[in-house]
Amino acid sequence: MNFAISVLFRAIPLVIGAVCLAFGLYIDSGGTDADHFVAGHVNIALTAICYALFTTAATIIRQLVHRYNLFWRIALPLSGYVVALATIGWGVFLVLRGDASKFVVAGHVVLGVGLIAVCVSTVATASTAFALIPVNAARSPQDGPPEEAYLREVGMVLVAIPIVCAVAGFVLALVLMARGGSADYVAGHVLFGLAAICASLVALVASIVRQVRNAFGQAERYRWSWLVVLMGTINLVLGLYDLLSSDRPYRIAPGYILIGLSLVCFSILSKALLLALVWRRSFPLANRIPILPVATALICLFLSAFLFEAAVTDTQFFIPARVMVGLGAVCFTLFSIVSILEAGTSG
């Protein structure tokens, strides 16, 4: 990877994050009603995921261009965790502001976005030894983990972090759904979809950890990819259920947003699948896999265009139209990450 391309791939998450932040602030300033409040706050929160993806991109690229040192090894993942935890704190603050529907929905969704940012920051942490993956791919399984790899216990902690985030998200989502209110329904279903993304990121962290430690076996080659497919499918089915099983207006927003979250899962699939396909084998079409997150980003953006038009006559489409733009931005940011992975493992 040449220096110019490395700068481009590092710039994409930051630029997209700036777009999400600016778009969110613009929406939030457009009115004091619940629709502007929720859509604005969610898009602002998505900036945390984009920044966490930047830390992942920078962590891998600096190893590929041989400009990685102890400072970047600590600063990049740490800054991602700081932003993620700040986002979680912001979500908790919104939840505690009151029982109004805009605080319930925005607070819990922002909290869920923060959980995803924690998981993505863990991907960056696991990737601090990314340079060992192509080295291990050229070795035999019997050689064991290289001396430079992190300890088995460290790897277990890294995998445990997204598991804990996913479980926390699922539990809180079920508690919200059990309450029965319309705001709780919306917040619970969207938070469930966000927790499914955390579960999808378990697959990515586990794949990186096990390849860094030269423990990635043939039996698990596609196991992690199927986990991501399962989470994406659950989000898609749940979203369609929300839209088709009832004509209640408050189901429109979580239905479409869950479909958007399923597309984010399928974007993550490109990363887990790439790591599986190129491990100790040649896969000539590996450079085509980055097309997947581009396709999901375009689907999100095209769908948002229809939702924007529907929102002209029905305000129930206001929030999903704008949140879908942010989800499309996250999908496109994942394009840069999977392209970096392809460059780093193609050798």
Q: For CA atoms 45, 49, 55, 61, give the dihedral sign.
A: negative
Position 274, amino acid: L
- Measure the CA–CA gap between 173 and 193, rounded to whole angstroms: 9
In the chain, the amino acid numbered 329 is A
pLDDT averaged over every residue in the chain:
93
Count Cβ atoms below 10 Å from residue 236 Cβ, excluding itself: 19
pLDDT at 93 over 80: yes
Beta strands in 212-297 (DSSP E): none
Q: How high is the pLDDT of residue 134?
A: 86
Determine the pLDDT at residue 14. 96
Give the residue with greater pLDDT, 94 vs 137. 94
Give the tokens for residue 272: 């887990």
pLDDT digits 0-9 by tens, 249-270: 999 999 999 999 999 999 999 8
pLDDT one-digit tens code per residue, 167-184: 999 999 999 999 988 999
pLDDT digits (tens, 9 = 90+) for 213-244: 998 888 888 899 999 999 999 999 999 999 99
- Residue 57, amino acid: A
Distances (CA, A) of 104 to 31, 37, 101, 151: 18, 11, 5, 41
DSSP for residue 165: H
Which amino acid appears at position 215 of this protein? A
Task: Retrieve residue 264's tokens.
Answer: 């984010």
Are the C-beta atoms of residues 270 and 289 closer than 8 Å to each other? yes
Q: Looking at residue 277, what is its pLDDT?
A: 84
pLDDT category at 346 given cuts 50, 70, 90 is: low
Identify the CA nearest to 16 among candidates 292, 293, 345, 333.
Answer: 333
**Residue 291 neighbours by CB distance under 10 Å:** 13
Q: Which two tokens stand for residue 13?
A: 């998450």
> Where exactly are the structural domains of the chain?
3-345
Question: Residue 347 has what pLDDT?
Answer: 53
| pLDDT, tens digit, 9 for 90 and up, residues 30-60 | 988 999 999 999 999 999 999 999 999 999 9
- Give yes or no for residue 196 having a pLDDT over 90: yes
- Separate counts of helices (H) and strands (E) for the chain: 11, 0
Q: What is the pLDDT of residue 286?
A: 67
In angstroms, rounded to a whole number, what is the distance separating the alpha carbons of residues 6 and 244?
44
Q: Are 52 and 117 in contact (CB under 8 A)?
A: yes
pLDDT band at 139 (very low <50, low <70, confident <90, very high): confident
